A and B are shown apart, each in its own frame.
Chain A
Amino acid sequence: MISIENISVRFESFALEDISLELEKSDYLALLGMSGAGKTVLLEVLAGLVKPQTGRIYLEKRDVTDDKIQNRGMGLVYQDLSLFPHMSVFENIAYPLKSKNLGRQGVRERVSELAGETGVLHLLDRSPGTLSGGEAQRVALARTLASDPKILLLDEPLSNLDVKLKAGLRSLLRRIHKSGKTVIHVTHDFMEAATLATKVAIVENGRLIQCGTPDEVFRHPATEFVARFSGIKNLFPCQVLQAKPGTGVREAIVAKKNRISFLGDHHPQDGFLLIPQEDIFVSRQPIDTSAINLFSGLISEAYLAGSGMELVVDTGIEFVVSISRQSYDKLQLKPGEHIWVAFKASAVKFLAG
């Protein structure tokens, strides 16, 4: 569907370096990265608003790199929405339709249809200045959809919205995607990406550092940045020790004296160990399991997280552990209590430093 090959753009103080991506028609790509990472610039390159110094963009196998902005088939919804303040909501949505020779009645019907789909039918006579954030976002989406883009480019569409509005807009974005639109959605919120995207690409300092399904990226982050960015909490700097011959199990030193076992064939080196919090078990007594990493410590914090609880257990290393509310009550846990934490060597992932 769209193929981005080795795109580079250099500004005085910032550069987008060698970005390559491939998307299918059915894809919903979340472009994740911190503010200033270059995500918006990449959207502007795709939309034709910024010319790349090198690289090509192919849309349905056609080179569109040098196509005019208005002929590229990529509809961009800016983060600030850029609704025309001197036009009504109706006129805003009708704007792209006026170059399509639909006739007055045709334009009116299409505007009503799009406004109905995006839930802004009751706002058509209003001025953009009088709309709430969520309403304006829906109008901007309707206006871009009116240009019938092959690819919908969204720049932080859910930022500045409260939780309730976010949920409503998320479901609208899902509907738009299901209706057959390919979507590229820029965000710095990994939860947003995980709940919407079929593919995730992580951008750091103008470079694309990992791309894959959300599960691949979040379960197997390629770098410390990806791991931290995706909200993984048990990520510890470590030093891999020399392997014991014939075991297949490695050991690494964390926080100077704690040894954690993991699987792999890494040479002695510095790096990071990642232990998914849902892969850590807790118990009142040391239990005999296949988990070879066993530590005892005190619960330093316990708080509600989603429908369950999160515990911070200080064993010399601070592990964050997720457990259900039921287990928390059953084990009668509370801050200050002594407990054991265990996890398998296979649950531990090593990231080179």
Chain B
Amino acid sequence: MLKSWKIRIVFLFFSGFVLLFIIAPLLGMFLNTSVDEYTETLADKQVMQSIRLTLFSSLAGVIIFGIAAIPFSYFLARKSFPGKGLVNGVIDLPVVIPHSAAGIAILGIVSRGSFIGQAGEAVGIQFVGGVAGIVVAMAFVSIPFLINAARDGFEAVPERLEKAALNLGASPFRVFFTVSLPLARRHILTGLTMMWARGLSEFGAVVIIAYHPMVAPVLIWERFTSFGLSYARPVAAVFVVVCLAVFVAMRLLSAEKKGNRV
């Protein structure tokens, strides 16, 4: 179909329009920031601290909740049960609800008066206004990306390979770790990357649980509302570069060698 030059031009036009729509604002932000502004921002301790906190909190969420999410994804990929469609819908809820509403919902279960909040405080973990709260908020809004990707990955692993492994004398645990997990790893790594990236960019839920300590999206907001666009833009530009670097690095790491795919 794309051999017709008229259709090709129409498709090229729309493709270019969409690409420009994504690239133009980002490019504008980078080009409108001077070298001095970049230098000052990189030397700003508060900015660098907030970026470090953002990277760490999102990563912590990925590690803590990923450990539970991967077996859960396998369960969803392999088992049929009544209400499975509903469970799959529930998994996507954090993506579709407003993130400020997600923040309010999380606050309800981790606030100081709640069981989890009190239990956390008893062992020295502070959710509201603490790193633990940021981790929970980031993980809450980003976990669907990991579950969905991992579930798709496990579904793509032929069940027959697992049966063959069992038939060869392997225990179900060994089959999971030596066959299912390695064969789904590309999807899982993509899911982990997406979860991390989505966690990094979370603002709505995090700002309700913990304004302080400030993660980068909250700091950008704070600089914008307190000092204006020219103060917020360099922070935003530096943070976007860091996010892009993380994202590209993770994509490269999860890139699959040819011939190893199922």
Contact = CB atoms under 8 A, between A and B. Distances in A.
Interface string B238-262: 0000000000000000000001111
A76 B167 contact: yes
B228 interface: no
A95 B174 CA distance: 10
Contacts of A86: 182-183, 260, 262
A95 B161 contact: no
Given A78-B160, A85-B183, A86-B182, A95 B259 contact: no
Nearest to B174: A99
A84 B104 CA distance: 47
A183 to B, nearest CB: 16
Interface in B178-212: 178-179, 182-183
A84 B170 contact: no
Nearest to B258: A129
A75 B174 contact: no
Interface string A120-158: 000000010110000000000001101100000000000
A99 B177 CA distance: 14
B158 interface: yes
Contacts of A129: 259
B1 interface: no
Interface string B20-46: 000000000000000000000000000
Interface residues of B, number: 21
B182 A49 contact: no
B160 A85 contact: no
B168 A85 contact: no
B166 interface: yes
Interface in B155-169: 158, 160-161, 163-169
Given A85-B261, A86-B260, A70 B163 contact: no
Nearest to A99: B169
Given A70-B171, A84-B179, A99-B174, A127 B259 contact: yes
Given A95-B165, A127-B259, A130-B259, A82 B160 contact: yes
B167 to A, nearest CB: 5
Q: Chain A binding site: helix, strand, loop or mixed by DSSP?
A: mixed
Contacts, number: 63
Contact of A75 (B167, B259, B262): B167
A86 B165 CA distance: 13
A113 interface: no
A124 B169 CA distance: 21
B168 A95 contact: yes
A76 B161 CA distance: 12
B168 A75 contact: yes
A82 B164 contact: yes
Interface string A232-258: 000000000000000000000000000
A328 to B, nearest CB: 50
Given A82-B158, A82-B160, A84-B161, A144 B168 contact: yes
Contacts of A96: 168-170
A127 B182 CA distance: 15
A80 B262 CA distance: 13
B166 A85 contact: no
B170 A70 contact: yes
A114 interface: no
A69 B174 CA distance: 14
A47 interface: yes
Contacts of A47: 167
Contacts of B161: 82, 84
Interface of B: 158, 160-161, 163-171, 174, 178-179, 182-183, 259-262
The 6 tightest CB contacts between A and B, nearest first, are A82-B164, A96-B168, A69-B166, A70-B169, A147-B168, A76-B167
18 contacts: A69-B166, A70-B169, A70-B170, A78-B164, A82-B160, A84-B165, A85-B183, A85-B260, A85-B262, A86-B260, A95-B165, A95-B170, A96-B168, A99-B169, A99-B171, A99-B174, A144-B168, A147-B169
